[in-house]
Amino acid sequence: MKQMLVKTSTHDYPIYIGKSLRFKLNELIKESYTKVLIITDDVVADLYLDDVRNSLEHFPVIEAVVPSGEASKSIKEYYRLQTVALKNHMDRRSLIIALGGGVVGDLAGFVAATFMRGIDYMQMPTTILAHDSSVGGKVAINHELGKNMIGAFYPPKAVVYDIDTIRSLPDHEIRSGFAEIVKEAYIANKPLLEELLHKKLTDISEEELIRYLYEGISVKKKIVEEDEKESHVRKFLNFGHTLAHALEAILGYGTITHGEAVAIGMLFALRVSEHYTDHDLHTERYKKWLDRNGYPCSLYGISHDDIIEKMKLDKKAANEQIQMVLLKAIGKPEIFDFTDETIEKHLQAFAKELNEA
Amino acid sequence: MKQMLVKTSTHDYPIYIGKSLRFKLNELIKESYTKVLIITDDVVADLYLDDVRNSLEHFPVIEAVVPSGEASKSIKEYYRLQTVALKNHMDRRSLIIALGGGVVGDLAGFVAATFMRGIDYMQMPTTILAHDSSVGGKVAINHELGKNMIGAFYPPKAVVYDIDTIRSLPDHEIRSGFAEIVKEAYIANKPLLEELLHKKLTDISEEELIRYLYEGISVKKKIVEEDEKESHVRKFLNFGHTLAHALEAILGYGTITHGEAVAIGMLFALRVSEHYTDHDLHTERYKKWLDRNGYPCSLYGISHDDIIEKMKLDKKAANEQIQMVLLKAIGKPEIFDFTDETIEKHLQAFAKELNEA
């Protein structure tokens, strides 16, 4: 089992990465809780809910299952979970466990952040992608007008990452997760990037996977420790996300995975970056890597005006200027503000590159 | 203008108390904001919204008016306000102003706490009661199953208390506000308590009112600085509130005011306290003060089982034990846990005292 400790303004919390950790929760949970509410989705419930419940024998356990998918990050599901917690007499000394991918982590985390003004919660990510969202305390639900618009900064008490649970993910989920690892590499770990760009995702061993996750999480840990509330360096983690959030919002969550959208967004951000630097950003190698691993690479025929409109709704936007993270070099991210006109020009060139102009 | 500074874990914020402050917001708001959203209720809007809007001439101003009354602290109104903020392109550098009593302060504060994971907000209390809720960063909405069950600890950037706005309150609102000042006096300021218990509320001068508010807020400030997240001493502020919350929940918010419910709850807490101390708690003088000032004093024929059931839903409860703040002496609060049976016995005695057994 690998382990690291993340410092926050309120408390420090451990991240455990290893095999079969879902059977060891009684050892890993050090505090005494009056009750434990496991929140998971219907797909994960079938696979791991029994294991998790059985390893919590010292606690009264409540379960709540939400439909798998982004649509569960709704105000309706959020309120229903508050009702479950209240009806089962949870109190301020109760614990919530988020067992699942990013959707469950964000949703359950926001329930924990606001139930009785905040109770403890633990992240148990079950996807590669969730290595990112489970660390750093960003929790949220979606509003019809934008992703993650309602939420909080609220760090978990622990992250328990059982590697067994990510073994049998479908290909698009593996792509989704690795896009965020590549992102972390791009903004802060050049050797990792160069190693990854040589890889075919289907050939990665379990040992390698654990190491990549550990290194990706290490990048994230360092950044969120420096800037918990995203006032400066934490914004770098949004490399590739300005376009990605717009695509997801317009296509409807579920058409492509979050990481696949980020992968497209990173290619766009790299192309824009090239206007502001002479450094080699490995863009061509990255493009080949996307191709080799079956990433979709398209703007899906969406009008540029619609994309720009959504980009302005991004939380990073201010004064209706569009903010993007660009690279001055690999490992050297910077934040740039853009007018609509400039973004439009870059989108045109990008569409042309994708043969969609 | 009187002024004090409250320290929190994230920032310090000023409280301004004085006359005509609603005309001086441009001086009092030091930061630059992209937009300002004023949230108020329909009653306060008629009286002061124009004044506040006109004194914000340096900012683009948006307004949102909710129906006056506790029913506005709903998930529905909360979501609607998020929609207003998004539709008007508010961003992370925008400000929310909560102009109104505790309902508006709690609701607008929780919107600010969670809009894009948290933006700045300012409290402008317009009732005596809100001297309490506007300080200390507790924000929340109600769940059908309990008051303030969904919320956060999220301190404001400033509290601007314009005394003009509390001059024309109806009697039951004056009673409501003074109950909380008496509470603050009971737990931490004996001289203030003894002065107040001599008073008839209708005879209090403006000068006295400002002083009482200042002293009440000083008690609150000291406690929330010591325990922002309510893990120990902040619980003392719930003196009188265990029964009060139960009464309000059962009667429906609006039958009696919050402070009137607290006034009844304090009498109950004093009677229970007398079993655990030999100190004089001025209970008889307090009871006469309630009577002289027209406070309702009743359990409204509610069954004790119903009261106990609701008491257990209180956020202070843990392990389904009922928690009450009692006094070992005036200025010496302590927390006690009770079984249902003991509470039932005390409720019986209390009902008898109120001639309702």
| pTM (predicted TM-score) | 0.92
Of B92, B114, B315, the CB nearest to A92: B315
Catalytic residue at B238?
Answer: yes
Band (pLDDT 50/70/90 cuts) for residue A318 is low
pLDDT tens for residues A135-171? 999 999 999 988 899 999 999 999 999 999 998 899 9
Inform me whether the pLDDT recorded for B316 exceeds 70: no
What percent of chain A lies above the pLDDT cut of 90?
A: 90
What's the complex ipTM?
0.91
Catalytic residue at A346?
Answer: no
What does the H/E/C string look like for chain A?
Answer: CEEEEEECCCCEEEEEEECCHHHCHHHHCCCCCCCEEEEEEHHHHHHHHHHHHHCCCCCCEEEEEECCCHHHCCHHHHHHHHHHHHHCCCCCCCEEEEEECHHHHHHHHHHHHHECCCCEEEEEECCCCHHHHCCCCEEEEEECCEEEEEEEECCCCEEEEEHHHHCCCCHHHHHHHHHHHHHHHHHHCHHHHHHHCCCCHHHCCHHHHHHHHHHHHHHHHHHHHHCCCCCCHHHHHHCCHHHHHHHHHHHCCCCCCHHHHHHHHHHHHHHHHCCCCCCCCCHHHHHHHHHHCCCCCCCCCCCHHHHHHHHHHCCCCECCEEEEEEEEECCEEEEEEECHHHHHHHHHHHHHHCCCC
Give the per-residue pLDDT at B218: 97
Of B91, B118, B143, the CB nearest to A152: B118
Band (pLDDT 50/70/90 cuts) for residue B254 is confident
Inform me whether the pLDDT recorded for B321 exceeds 90: no
Of A146, A315, A319, the CB nearest to B34: A319
Band (pLDDT 50/70/90 cuts) for residue B318 is low
C-alpha dist (Å) from residue B268 to A232, B193, B248, B275, B324: 51, 17, 15, 12, 10
pLDDT tens for residues B162-196? 999 998 899 999 999 999 999 999 999 999 999 99
Catalytic residue at A260?
Answer: no
- With contacts defined as CB-CB under 8 Å, which chain B residues touch A316? 92
Instruction: Using a CB–CB cutoff of 8 Å, tell me whether A105 touches chain B.
Output: no
Whether the Cβ atoms of residue A264 and residue A257 lie closer than 8 Å to each other: no
Q: What is the DSSP letter of B58?
A: T
pLDDT tens for residues B187-226? 999 999 999 999 999 999 999 999 999 999 999 999 999 9
- With contacts defined as CB-CB under 8 Å, which chain B residues touch A9? 9-10
Separation in Å, CA of A10 to nearest CA in chain B: 9
SS3 B356: coil
pLDDT tens for residues B44-96? 999 999 999 999 998 999 999 999 988 999 999 999 999 999 999 999 999 99
Using a 10 angstrom Cβ sphere, with 0-12 exposed, 13-18 middle and 19 or more buried, the burial of residue A232 is exposed
Catalytic residue at B175?
Answer: no
Tokens of A252: 């409807």
Whether the Cβ atoms of residue A6 and residue A224 lie closer than 8 Å to each other: yes
Q: Nearest chain B residue to A139 by CA: give it.
A: B117
The answer for residues whose C-beta is within 8 angstroms of residue B65's C-beta and 6 or more apart is B39, B40, B41, B42, B45, B49
What percent of chain B lies above the pLDDT cut of 70?
A: 98
Radius of gyration of chain B (CA): 20
The sign of the dihedral angle between the CA atoms of A15, A19, A25, A26 is negative
Q: Buried (b) or exposed (e) across B259-270, using 16+ Cβ within 10 A?
A: bbbbbbbbbbbb
Q: What are residue B120's DSSP bridge partners? A: B95
Average pLDDT over residues A299-315: 90
- For residue A325, the Cα-to-chain-centroid distance in whole angstroms is 17
- What interhelical angle do B206-226 and B171-188 show, nearest 10? 50
Band (pLDDT 50/70/90 cuts) for residue A79 is very high
Q: What is the mean pLDDT of chain B?
A: 95
Instruction: Using a CB–CB cutoff of 8 Å, tell me whether A11 touches chain B.
Output: no
Instruction: Please tell me the distance from the alpha carbon of residue B109 to that of residue A273, in angstroms, as a whole number.
Output: 39
Q: What is the DSSP letter of B328?
A: E
Instruction: Using a CB–CB cutoff of 8 Å, tell me whether A190 touches chain B.
Output: no
Average pLDDT over residues A215-239: 96
Give the per-residue pLDDT at B255: 84
Inform me whether the pLDDT recorded for A317 exceeds 70: no
pLDDT tens for residues A169-197? 999 999 999 999 999 999 999 999 999 99
CATH numbers and ranges of domains, chain A: 2-166 (3.40.50.1970), 171-353 (1.20.1090.10)
> Which position has the token pair 């590159």?
A353
Give the per-residue pLDDT at B313: 77
Band (pLDDT 50/70/90 cuts) for residue A255 is confident
What percent of chain A lies above the pLDDT cut of 70?
A: 98
Give the per-residue pLDDT at B341: 96
Pairing, β A95-100 against β A36-41? parallel
Inform me whether the pLDDT recorded for A239 exceeds 80: yes
Inform me whether the pLDDT recorded for B317 exceeds 70: no
